[in-house]
Amino acid sequence: MAISLAPWRRAVQETGGGSLAVTLPKGWADAQGVRKGSYMLIVANEDGSLRLLPERGEMKKEASCAIISNSPNLVRDVLGGYLLGFDVLRLESPEPFPAKTVAEVRRAVRRLSGAEIVEELPRRIEIQVLLDPEVVAPEKVLRREGTLVESMVADASASLLAGDVRLAGSTVERDEEVDRQYFILVRMVRSAIRDPEITRRMGINPLRLLDMRLVARFLESSGDEAAAIASLAGEVGGLSEGMRDMLASLGNHALDLVRKSAESFLSMDPSAASQIFAIFQETRDIARAIESSPEAGNSTSGAAVSKAVPRFERIAENSMDIAELAPSILSKAPATLK
């Protein structure tokens, strides 16, 4: 049953003894399993609003199952079911699954933390997800993802300048682990949306959890950019010392932004604001200096540099987006950068 996301409007009624009451929307009550005689928890928020939660007591949570029919988008549908918070993903096909499809499903499941194939038959594959959103702390997931992206940016820059293909390969491989952390956080957020009581038990503000999901997305994007930069290793050679110094400085600035923006969001520390915005401005200046250099684009190495610079810039922009999610930091942003 689809539940409207628009606010419901209800008239306040007065009951015996002077108490006030409002009715619950039928569609919402049905979806939450609220019946006559059910108990509701009313939580007062800091902003003066109230949060209404069904009291589920010690009721055993039923495993949610998604039935996924075989199609050309099967792997994508598996990921979608995982991110939506389903506990069981049952893949079904009227004909035996091709060996190639089974192999693709296995690879996809390996990317999903807590997921494993528990049954594999010719026409049915069952995937079980043993990841409890209340056990994994979202801050730890986000910090782990940030640490991975930091290492990717650092090694992408180093491999680009040194032409170290082996280090570049290691950097690209780490992108899969970044995706795993991102998927975990998205699943946690969507599970909390489906069951608001999860955020209550986790002791985290729902808006903060949504912001974490955005930060995780920006970090995941920066990981992709770092992997793309690393893939250019071996194409940059014969550059002047000045150009190499500018590239190294660009990489260091991007790394500094990733580290400081993630930490500022997690700690909600406004003292890092001015430094973050200053580094971002310097990063843009370095990028412009490289792009305007006659050396950029005039050779195979120059072409590789021209491909790498915009990716460093996108990492810097992602970091700014992360920093701006902290209201205390955004309020201190220079007017020209808002």
> What is the secondary structure of 250-308 as a DSSP string?
HHHHHHHHHHHHHHHHHHT-GGGHHHHHHHHHHHHHHHHHHHTSTTTTSSHHHHHHHHH
What pLDDT shows up at residue 327? 56
Question: Span 69-88, mean pLDDT?
Answer: 92
pLDDT reading at 177 higher than 90: yes
Residue % of the chain over a pLDDT of 90: 53
What pLDDT shows up at residue 297? 67
Residues 114, 145: one domain? no
What pLDDT shows up at residue 4? 46
Residues 182, 73: one domain? no
Domain boundary among 112, 129, 146: 129
Residues 110, 169: one domain? no
Residues 156, 73: one domain? no
Question: Span 140-167, mean pLDDT?
Answer: 95
Residues 158, 111: one domain? no
CA torsion angle for 30, 3, 187, 320 (degrees, to 10)? -150
Residues 103, 194: one domain? no
Structurally, how many domains does the chain consist of? Answer: 2
Residues 183, 331: one domain? yes
Residue 254: give its domain's CATH number: 1.20.58.220
Q: What is the pLDDT of residues 25-57, one digit of tens each?
A: 887 777 777 887 777 777 666 566 777 777 655
Residues 172, 124: one domain? no
Contact (CB, 8 A) for 310 and 232: no
pLDDT reading at 108 higher than 80: yes
pLDDT reading at 204 higher than 70: yes
What pLDDT shows up at residue 17? 55
Domain limits at 261?
A: 138-292+304-337
Residues 112, 245: one domain? no
